[in-house]
Amino acid sequence: MSGSGKTERRKAAAAKAPVRAVIEAVMPAVDGGRFPIKRVLGEEVVVEADCFADGHDELACLLLYRNDSDAAWESVPMIALGNDRWRAAFTVERIGVYRYTVTAWVDAFLSWRHDFARRVDAEDLLVAAQLGAALIDGVASRAKAGAKRRLAAWAKRLRREQDPAALATLGLDEDLFSLAKEYPDRSFAATHPVELSVRVDRDRARYSTWYELFPRSFGPATGAHGTFKDCGAVLPYVAAMGFDVLYFPPIHPIGRGRRKGPNNSLIASAGDVGSPWAIGALEGGHTAVHPALGTLADFRELIKLAGEHGLEVALDIAFQCAPDHPWVKEHPEWFRWRPDGTVQYAENPPKKYQDIYPFNFDCGEWQDLWNALEDVFLFWIGEGVRIFRVDNPHTKPFAFWEWLIARVCRDYPDVIFLAEAFTRPKIMHRLAKLGFSQSYTYFTWRNTKHELTEYFTELAHDPSREYFRPNCWPNTPDILNEYLQVGGRPAFMARVVLAATLSANYGIYGPAFELMEHIPREPGSEEYRDSEKYQLRHWDLSRTDSLADFIGRINRARRDNSALQQDWSLRFFAVDNEQLICYAKTSAGLDSVFDNIVVVVVNLDPWHTQSGWVDIDLSALGMEKDSTYQMHDLLTDARYLWHGRRNFVQLDPARTPAHVLRLRRRVKSEHAFDYFA
């Protein structure tokens, strides 16, 4: 062997024997622990790992976890599932960050007991008892006073006892066994080298119901610019529909340079109000309020009022500047100037924002810029805002968002960030990994049974669910999907039922939605004609054909049924009709008996009545295969008696294109009749 080999041998001569236990494939973990998984307060983290060792000795495994602010680990024994897979779980009880990992070791005492139990020959038993006594002395040396005495006594009796039968019983004493198990020898434990982490948010990060509106559209009369005060009057209306997040597009002064006119026209006339996303003017920038909306004081008042209606106000953070944003003069170094003295306007192909300058995040003074942008968040947090919808985060560096969200959440762990990134899958996933609490999705463009089934199966069951929390929108000010353009009222009803029941987080852009605004700017466009993005609108909220009441019933169903407040339990069921989609959600908890089960059936055809046989997987719902149960429609309050797997459904889009069915089990009673719980 080579000389260097010899040296290594000498070098090694001090070390203790390497540990024998091996730990692999610890789950859940995002990119090997580079990013945290996500949970909300009170949820469980179920951890699994492959743990094994050479030979045939017994292994012991512990799940270790701690709140980031605690130094000491808590531990839970892991249970062997077979095939060397082990599992344990812990519950997160504080918002912020928890850490977890796995430790395992070859346990000499457990191995001895396993071996002792198989001894038959009397002489063997005596020898094994001596070995056991020595091990138990070791256990005693680690034990607390009381236990120490009992264990030492046990060892002593094992040494003394000569009668094989008595010895066998003594060696396998259950009580002493469980006592000894409390003091294992972990000096040769292997511990997974990565401390995995879980980001714990408040409940609203997992379950939220958003309503987006343009405050300026709620003036007293057509053409009058609405104010925060005017918005106060709308709060009861929004609250009555059962929303809990009220989201405003940017509320800042709007640039005059290159301001856009109605329908995104490049030339604006004097009276045009411009796009709220063209942020900044003489009156101020990202920390100012548009004078026509009122004052900061008015805004704070509105937040307070909204709170009294159970509504939390969310702001839109769009990091970009109109040409007359104060920063353009104060910090020209934050923008990328072209030789002709202009700044190339922002783009998000195919969209062009001629009225907007992007920031140059790589500029020499990038740190000042990043700090200034952080201060924008801190300013609005100071005003009482805790939910931010971030505009086009995918056109700003990932490193910026990871830095910013970490800093904000360290001091304000209750802040929720929604990523408005309609872009390529891996980019959307990266933003979710690095810290965004919720993400916009492709839902708006998933309309057929196949598209919906495939996409929501991915969202609910792929490993990415550990960090990607979908927030589904049937419409936004930027997206009027063709299904809504052509499908009429039934299309709007179907889409809001799908969003609200497929996803625990969803929102609508109103009143355009409940008033079924459906005319595109031009054929083939997804833009609204006369969009509020570029002009004032005035809405008649009292219209008799409004979907406000229907939406209210859906949101009430969400509030009353925990099954609809999370995403992971989603299961699709077969229907023998391609226009009918059927799925169920169950309340969290072990896959035994669920205390809340909701089954949804939607007719995706807005033009024709469709009927078919649904195939309910009762065992997946923890029910007897041939049981009879009641289906209570939470939209119409109708009740149906269903039996077994196959049941008939018919939905007339002209009336209600969907069933949202609360499944009620039949409960045997001591009386002559049964009832449904």
Closest CA to 43 of 439, 620, 589: 589
Based on its alpha-carbon atoms, the radius of gyration of the chain, rounded to whole angstroms, reads 31
Closest CA to 263 of 552, 613, 541, 520: 520
From the list 398, 442, 613, 676, which residue makes contact with a second copy (rule: CB under 8 A)? 398
To a second copy, the closest distance from the beta carbon of 57 in angstroms equals 10
Residue-by-residue DSSP string for 361-383: TTSTTHHHHHHHHHHHHHHHHHT
Q: Is 148 helix (H, G, I), strand (E, B) or coil?
A: helix
Residue type, 355: D
The Cα-based distances of 591 to 86, 306, 586, 594 in angstroms read: 18, 39, 9, 7
Q: With CB under 8 A as the contact rule, which of the stretches 59-67, 122-130, 269-277, 628-636 interacts with a second copy? A: 122-130
- 340 contacts a second copy (rule: CB under 8 A): yes
From the list 220, 310, 332, 425, which residue makes contact with a second copy (rule: CB under 8 A)? 425
As a dihedral over the C-alpha atoms of residue 317, residue 321, residue 325, residue 330, rounded to 10 degrees, the angle is 100
- 131 contacts a second copy (rule: CB under 8 A): yes
CB 511 within 8 A of CB 213: yes
Which residues, 361 to 390, sit near a second copy by CB under 8 A? 361-363, 366-367, 371, 374-375, 378
To a second copy, the closest distance from the beta carbon of 460 in angstroms equals 21
To a second copy, the closest distance from the beta carbon of 375 in angstroms equals 8
Closest CA to 415 of 382, 391, 437: 437
Which residue lies nearer to a second copy by CB, 134 or 240?
Answer: 134
Residue 283 in tokens:
């009156």
- 640 contacts a second copy (rule: CB under 8 A): no
Residue 68 designated active-site: no
Which residues, 166 to 185, sit near a second copy by CB under 8 A? none
CB 417 within 8 A of CB 377: no
Closest CA to 257 of 275, 243, 241, 234: 275
- 22 contacts a second copy (rule: CB under 8 A): yes
- 427 contacts a second copy (rule: CB under 8 A): yes
From the list 430, 446, 518, 558, which residue makes contact with a second copy (rule: CB under 8 A)? 430
DSSP 621: G
Report CA 15 to chain centroid distance, whole Å.
Answer: 46
Break the chain down into helix, strand, coil percent, rounded to 5.
Answer: 35, 25, 40
> Which of 107, 201, 312, 420 is an active site residue?
420
Which residue lies nearer to a second copy by CB, 103 or 577?
Answer: 103
Q: Which residues of 3-28 are buried (b: 16+ CB within 10 A; e: fewer)?
A: eeeeeeeeeeeeeeeebbbebeebeb
Q: Please give the helix or strand (H or E) that residue 546 lies within, else none.
A: none
Task: Enumerate residues 6+ apart whose C-beta is below 8 A from 333.
Answer: 363, 364, 365
Which residue lies nearer to a second copy by CB, 411 or 540?
Answer: 411
From the list 396, 537, 585, 632, which residue makes contact with a second copy (rule: CB under 8 A)? 396
From the list 50, 173, 185, 298, which residue makes contact with a second copy (rule: CB under 8 A)? 50
> Which of 391, 517, 532, 605 is an active site residue?
391
C-alpha–C-alpha distance, residues 446 and 464, integer Å: 19
Residue 308 designated active-site: no
From the list 17, 145, 267, 667, which residue makes contact with a second copy (rule: CB under 8 A)? 17
- 592 contacts a second copy (rule: CB under 8 A): no
Q: With CB under 8 A as the contact rule, which of the stretches 94-102, 216-224, 333-341, 657-665 interacts with a second copy? A: 333-341
Which residue lies nearer to a second copy by CB, 1 or 71?
Answer: 1
Size of the site for a second copy (CB under 8 A): 62
C-alpha–C-alpha distance, residues 554 and 248, integer Å: 23
Q: With CB under 8 A as the contact rule, which of the stretches 51-59, 455-463, 508-516, 669-677 interacts with a second copy? A: 51-59
Residue 611 CB burial class (10 angstroms; 0-12, 13-18, ≥19): middle
- 544 contacts a second copy (rule: CB under 8 A): no
Task: Enumerate residues 6+ apart whose C-beta is below 8 A from 244.
Answer: 204, 208, 209, 310, 311, 312
To a second copy, the closest distance from the beta carbon of 25 in angstroms equals 8
Site string for a second copy, 56-95 (x = CB under 8 A): x--------------------------xx-----------
- 625 contacts a second copy (rule: CB under 8 A): no
CB 466 within 8 A of CB 28: yes
- 394 contacts a second copy (rule: CB under 8 A): yes
From the list 304, 351, 410, 643, which residue makes contact with a second copy (rule: CB under 8 A)? 410
Which residue lies nearer to a second copy by CB, 240 or 363?
Answer: 363
Which residue lies nearer to a second copy by CB, 357 or 572?
Answer: 357
Residues labelled as active-site residues = 391, 420
Chain contacts with a second copy (rule: CB under 8 A): 1-2, 5, 8-9, 12-13, 15, 17-20, 22, 24, 31-32, 50, 52-56, 83-84, 123, 126-127, 130-131, 188, 338-340, 342, 347-349, 361-363, 366-367, 371, 374-375, 378, 394-400, 403, 407, 410-411, 424-427, 430
